[in-house]
Structure 1
Amino acid sequence: MVADLIRDSPFGHIVRLVTRQKYFQYPEEQDHELWKRYVHEEKSGHMAHHGTTDAPEQQPNELDRAQRNSETSSRTHVGEEHNEASGVRVDPEKGKDKHVIDWYGPEDPQNPRNWSRAKKVFVTFEICFLTFSVYIGSAIYTPGLLDVVQVFGVAQVPATLGLTLYVAGYGLGPIIWSPMSEIPQIGRLWVYIGTLFVFVMFQLPTVYASNFGMLLAFRFLTGFFGSPALATGGATIADMYRPQKQAYGLAIWGVGAVCGPVLGPLVGGFAVQANMTTGKPLHGWQWTIWELMWLSGCCLIFLFFLLPETSSPNILYRRTKRLRKLTGDDRFTCEPELAADNMGPKDIVLMTLVKPITLNFQEPIVFLLNLYIALIYGLLYIWFESFPLVFSEIYGFNLGLEGVAFLGILVGTLIACACLFTWLYFWQEKQFDDNGNIEPEKRLIPAMVGCFAVPICLFWFGWTSRESIHWIVPIIGTSFFGMAAFTLFNAVLPYLSDAYPDSVASVLAGNDLMRSAFGAGFPLFATGMYHQLGIDWASSLLAFLGIAFIPIPFLLYRFGKRIRHKSKNARKDI
């Protein structure tokens, strides 16, 4: 497994390029006869007969004869007007003499869904590590907020832009990066590595920003270049896991995503506090950026040596290129390459820039669920702004201990994860049919439970945050938000992936854009709202918003199938 990981990593690709494929060879490079194993005879026959890999409505007798002959003949003496791979005569008008490369069978080890369990778990951990390393960058900034106010001489609301522009950046980024990762010639790997490299490098001009405008500009740019994992990570999980197991992978990825904003104030808070007590030359806010750079830099090195490509279209495309080079035969092709060849510049622009937005607003299901997730995400960030008011001003916590208060959310997330895994194993897995399909609406059941936890959390937190009540009580209340956010995300993302399987990355990119817009905008008025209304009524106002959106998962569970069947983009066969 380790050798395959290194071979398929960016490091392995570079070694192969420099040594001209002398090291880290693929099986077909060691045995030149293996190309026959990779050719899909039936699809090659279809290409020869009518120019596409799709089967005709009524299969011609010639295809029947060719397929019967293929079982008894090696086709070593096929005429020039016949396709060598299938034995089917090439139609002079519509046919194309192509050898279509595909997985050689259901057990092809290069297919990500056939990887060993250990390899899938390891790659899932890598994606979680990457997601955590970027997500923590938003909240890790907040402990140094007052330091930014003092150093740059700005008010607290403008200083908050360092948080909100970062969130806006990783909301806009997936509009480009996620659909780009679906292009077979590009794939996901180099999108991850290329953008992460820029993300790490841009921390330097951020930490040494000479003025406030420079700080804000690079906070936005780091969020923009760090964004691919936040939307494409879910598509990577779907690459590896079959439908019955995808929810487990998405749940683990979801824990990694929650850990970022939850642990950010803890990690950043102790760094800022230590700087205040020791009087070191760097400002406290600068130490939070250094921590982000160290973490993301370690992640970059780790992934550079061990992260493989998971995009099936890209893996097949690279296999096809290797076979063309080995044999010198330009007839080798694959379905992803054929699809890409039919795409012009206009189609690429539409897919990368327009598709995530149009899907978000043209599809009622996508819009409603993205709006709901965006609201929860926005409530999370606006609610986070109350933590300094509660735990510093009411309970007297210092900056470091204030970060510890966020751990209640993490505990709630882990409890919800354990419950979700139990429900998946004992109930939902049994709902899949023999073809591995399930009605997408059945994915929404966890959301129908978790939606009630949002108002419970906010009412609990708002009315127990007072000196007469021990600080542990509101922290226990925060655990309900962890349960809510986790169950909602792990119901909505699998649902959208199942309902729109051909546009997963674009749908998730639209989801990321909308929720980041809410997450970026809400903190700007949070402090003023809490000061004007008080912790109790401000939290209650957020709770009432949460109540207003409770019907959404119930309505889609009831009417989602009917809406899907009227959609041009959604799946209709289940």
Structure 2
Amino acid sequence: MGVSDLIRDSAFGHLVRLATGNKYLTYAEERDPSLWKKYVNEVKSRNFAHHGHAGDVSDDDAGTREARHVSEDSEKDLSDSERPGQPKEGIPNLASGVKLDPEKGRDIHLIDWYGPDDPENPRNWSHAKKYFVTFEICLLTLSVYIGSSIYTAGLLGVMEEFGVSQVAATLGLTLFVAGYGLGPMVWAPMSEIPFIGRNPVYIGTLVIFVLFQIPTALASNFGMLLAFRFLTGLFGSPVVATGGASIGDMYRPQKQAYGLGIWGISAICGPVLGPLVGGFAVEAEGWRWSIWELMWLSGFCLVFLFFLLPETSSANILYRRTRRIRKLTGDEKLKCEPEIMGEQMTGKDIVWMVLIRPISLNFTEPMVFLLNLYISLIYALLYIWFESFPIVFVGIYHFTLGELGLAFLGILIGVICIIPPFFCWLYFHQEKQFNERGEIQPEKRLPPAMVGGFFVPICLFWFGWSARPDIHWIMPIIGSSFFSVATFLLFQSVFGYLADAYPDYVASVFAGNDFMRCGFGAGFPLFAAAMYNRLGVGWASSLLAFLGIAFIPIPYVLYVYGGRLRKRSKHARKDF
């Protein structure tokens, strides 16, 4: 892993290149102008000349020739201009040597990866570089996710200072989570646009996230506090939906689950560590100190990523490569597939993809709706813990605010314990089920969810009925650890299933999932305290456990009938 490559492809590196006219932190084709020819894909250029698109159709050698690129000693000069007055149908496509089809042909010299081992393709990065970038995505996820629950440590301080009820003070948590749900509706599709990519979305929103912690910590009235909590959630949300996509950019399908598993730990660590990080600080300095802690952590993350986070979107990397080569050669016919697809998108297409399709798929596709509903329940339970833990560990066991944060470590230990058996299952069982094209039947992703669903009621029954003064406090903590086992197994299976079942709409499916689960996560804490106080810890937890039992059959039903449902669907994949 070259550190210079990381810096060159980071936000800092792009600024340096822009300020110096690309004289520093250069790419290989800028140092050796003859190299660019190997990036031109001859076969795809031929297909554009014949058919107007890159894919082969049934011609003499369709589907049998491997992609060939223009060699350095080729006699073709792709930068030649058209001869004046010559009709379009008489001009050969210089990249492939074939004449343009007068009706469908397009005169395009297609820039592509120069082969299966192109080092700029994120899936060909070294293991060290992939692991380092995965760490960066996990750090970003932790730094933002911790912002939701770190606020709960200062809940009493907010109530006292602004004279509001507990339900009103809880809005500081729920509005932050609501921002999580709304943000990806814009940020996730934006990161898929080739000329934007993921880095500008990550870095740009993180800058605002860090800066908005200042007015949040200095809020002079309750309304100002709530407004900026919502805004920080909104601008902190990109990694919630796009972090998994960044992992998918780097790892091949057989290995993606490992990267997503590690990323999943960071997603759970954030909310779990929030009360711990904020608890002792609030005890010593008041509720505002927890917000300053969030600013310091996210600010460090911003500086680290600004200098060292490279772009992972293959579409954006190809687009920038194409721009560099166009500038070197002056040949405006040089284009890449992501760029061509982006040019074909209208404003109406973008609005449909961002605002309508995520909601439409959620309510018109039974598989999407059922799994989103299940994940939403799990997400809601996560945020209910932040209301029920004080009732149990402060009200029953008389923990201090700092000790209350330590009680959440049981959830963290649970997810650490489930990682080894899950990875063993992936390695010894699931990897063998992929075909030679790196594809797997979506339903084969579901067995971990079929197991994980049982841990939801186990966790809630154990936690609810062991939380008594005559039973040691370690027992409800042990019970809470089963929740992270359920969460991890369900999230890994469901997201893998949805990505495989809806490969052409994965961004919209995930945006809809995020919107729905964050809606549940924002709403449930508002009535959690009243439910626990009125029903008691045992029966309130049992009510949620019975709800969890009702959801257990969902992955089993989809495992058996998912293939039939996909064949009836307008949007799901049907070739398995």
TM (norm. structure 2) is 0.95
The answer to whether the aligner puts 1:245 opposite 2:246 as a matched pair is no
Deviation at 1:361, TM superposition (A): 1.8
Q: Provide the residue aligned with 1:56 in structure 2.
A: 57
Partner of 1:333, secondary structure, is strand
Deviations 1:122-148 (A, max 9, x none): 111111111111111111000100100
The one-letter code matched in structure 2 to 1:514 is M
The match for 2:301 among 299, 302, 306 is 299
Shift of 1:211: 0.7
The Cα offsets for residues 204-227 of structure 1, whole Å up to 9 and x where unpaired, read as 111111110110000000000000
**Partner-residue secondary structure (3-state), 2:146:** helix
Q: How far, CA to CA, are the matches of 2:253 and 2:64 in structure 1?
A: 33
Note closer, same or farther for the CA distance 1:76–1:250 as it changes in structure 2 (3 Å cut). closer
Aligned partners of 2:8, 2:388: CA distance in 1, in Å? Answer: 48
Deviation, structure 1 residue 377: 0.8
Change in 2 beyond 3 A, CA 1:64/1:238:
closer
Answering whether residue 144 of structure 2 is matched by residue 166 of structure 1, we say no
**Structure-2 separation of matches of 1:568 and 1:522:** 33
**Residues 1:73 and 1:122: Cα distance change in structure 2 (over 3 Å):** closer
Residue 74 of structure 1 pairs with residue 58 of structure 2: no
Q: Deviations over 1:370-418 (max 9, x none)?
A: 1100011112212331111111111111000011000001011111112
Q: Distance in 2 between matches of 1:59 and 1:44?
A: 16
- Cα deviation, 1:2-55, whole Å, max 9, x if unaligned, reads 111111100000000001111111111111111210011011011112222122
Using the alignment, how far apart are the partners of 1:287 and 1:168 within structure 2?
Answer: 23
Instruction: Give the deviation of 1:430 after TM superposition.
Output: 1.3
- Does the alignment pair 1:234 with 2:244? yes
Q: Which amino acid aligns with 1:406?
A: F
C-alpha deviations, 1:213-245, integer Å up to 9, x for none?
110000000000000000111111111111100
CA–CA distance in structure 2, aligned partners of residues 104 and 69 of structure 1: 7
1:21 aligns with 2:22: yes
Deviates more, 1:561-570 or 1:223-232: 561-570
Among candidates 201, 204, 227, match of residue 214 of structure 2: 204
- Residue 68 of structure 1 deviates from its aligned partner by 11
SS in 2 for 1:25: coil
Deviation, 1:531, is: 0.7
Matched, 1:94 2:94: no
Asked whether the 8 Å contact 1:235–1:504 carries over to 2, the reply is no
Q: Decide whether aligned partners of structure 1 residues 71 and 235 sit closer, same or farther in structure 2, where only a CA change above 3 A counts.
A: closer
Following superposition of structure 1 onto structure 2, how do residues 393-472 of structure 1 map, counting pairs within 5 Å?
393-472=395-474
TM-aligned CA deviation for residue 72 of structure 1? 13
Distance in 1 between the 2:262 and 2:339 partners? 32
2:86 is matched with which residue? none
CA drift of 1:76 comes to: 3.6
* Contact 1:40 1:102 survives alignment (8 Å): yes
- Give the Å deviation of 1:360: 1.7
Whichever residue aligns with residue 547 of structure 1, its letter is I
Deviations 1:60-85 (A, max 9, x none): 89x999x9998999344899621111
Alignment of 1:342-357 (within 5 A): 342-357=344-359
Q: Give the letter aligned to residue 554 of structure 2.
A: I
Displacement of 1:349 in angstroms is 1.5
In the superposition, relative to structure 1, how do residues 484 and 70 fare at CA in structure 2: closer, same or farther (>3 Å)?
closer
Match of 1:279 in 2: none
- Within a 5 Å distance, the mapping from 1:126-205 to structure 2 comes to 126-205=136-215
Verify: 1:8 aligned to 2:9, yes or no. Answer: yes
Deviations 1:276-300 (A, max 9, x none): xxxxxxxx11111001100100110
1:423-467 CA distance string (max 9 Å, x none) = 111111111122211111111111110100000010001111011
Query: For 1:354 and 1:3, how far apart are their aligned partners in 2?
Result: 42
SS of the equivalent of 1:181 reads: helix
1:496 and 2:498 matched: yes
SS of the residue corresponding to residue 339 of structure 2 reads: helix
Deviations 1:466-490 (A, max 9, x none): 1111111111111100101111111
Q: Given that residues 41 and 69 in structure 2 are in contact (C-alpha distance below 8 angstroms), is that contact kept between their aligned partners in structure 1?
A: no
Compared with structure 1, are the counterparts of its residues 540 and 60 closer, same or farther at alpha carbon in structure 2 (3 Å cutoff)? closer
Comparing 520-529 and 28-37, the one that deviates more = 28-37
* Mapped contact 1:113–1:241 kept (Cα < 8 A): yes
The amino acid that maps onto 1:315 is I
Q: Is the contact made by 1:232 and 1:509 (CA closer than 8 Å) also made in structure 2?
A: no
Whole-angstrom CA distance in 2 between matches of 1:433 and 1:50: 30
Which runs of 5 or more residues in structure 2 are unaligned? 84-90
User: Matched residue of 2:192: which SS?
Assistant: coil
Deviates more, 1:87-96 or 1:185-194: 87-96
Read off the aligned partner of 1:363 and give its amino acid letter.
Answer: E
Give the secondary structure class of the aligned counterpart of 1:565. Answer: helix
1:392 aligns with 2:394: yes
What is the rounded CA distance, in whole Å, between the counterparts of 1:150 and 1:64 in structure 2?
A: 73
Aligned-pair CA distance for 1:562? 1.6
Q: Does the 8 Å CA contact 1:75/1:87 hold for their aligned counterparts?
A: no
Aligned-partner Cα distance in 2 for 1:386–1:84? 69
Cα deviation for residue 565 of structure 1 reads: 2.3
- How many angstroms apart in 1 are the aligned matches of 2:14 and 2:74? 35
Equivalent residue, structure 2, for 1:369: 371
Question: Can you give the 5+ residue segments of structure 1 that lack an aligned partner in the other structure?
Answer: 276-283
What is the 5 A alignment of 1:246-395?
A: 246-275=256-285, 284-395=286-397
**Identity score, percent:** 68
How far off its partner does 1:504 sit? 2.4
Inter-partner Cα distance in structure 2 for 1:73 and 1:87:
15
Q: Distance in 1 between matches of 2:368 and 2:444?
A: 16
Distance 1:71 1:112, change over 3 A: closer
d(CA) in 2 for partners of 1:485, 1:405:
18
1:301-322 Cα distance to aligned partner (Å, 9 max, x none) = 0110011111111111111111
| 1:60–1:447 distance in 2 versus 1, CA, 3 Å | closer
Structure 1 residues 69 and 118: alpha-carbon distance in aligned structure 2, compared to 1, 3 A threshold: closer
> What is the identity, as a one-letter code, of the residue corresponding to 1:204?
I
CA distance in 1, matches of 2:519, 2:376: 8
Q: Residue in 2 aligned with 1:524? A: 526
The CA distance in 2 between the partners of 1:551 and 1:364, in whole Å, is 14
The two structures, once aligned, show a CA RMSD in angstroms of 2.1
Greater shift in the superposed pair: 284-293 or 42-51:
42-51
Label 1:474 to 1:270 Cα distance change in 2 as closer, same or farther (>3 A).
same
2:224 is aligned to: 214
Question: What secondary structure is seen at the aligned counterpart in 2 of 1:234?
Answer: helix
Number of positions where the alignment pairs a residue of Structure 1 with one of Structure 2: 565
Comparing 165-174 and 352-361, the one that deviates more: 352-361
Partner of 2:556: 554
Residue 110 of structure 2 aligns to a residue in which SS? strand
- Give matches, 1:86-125, under 5 Å: 86-125=96-135
Residue pair 2:69, 2:114 contacting (<8 A) in 1 also: no
Distance across 2 between alignment mates of 1:68 and 1:115 = 22
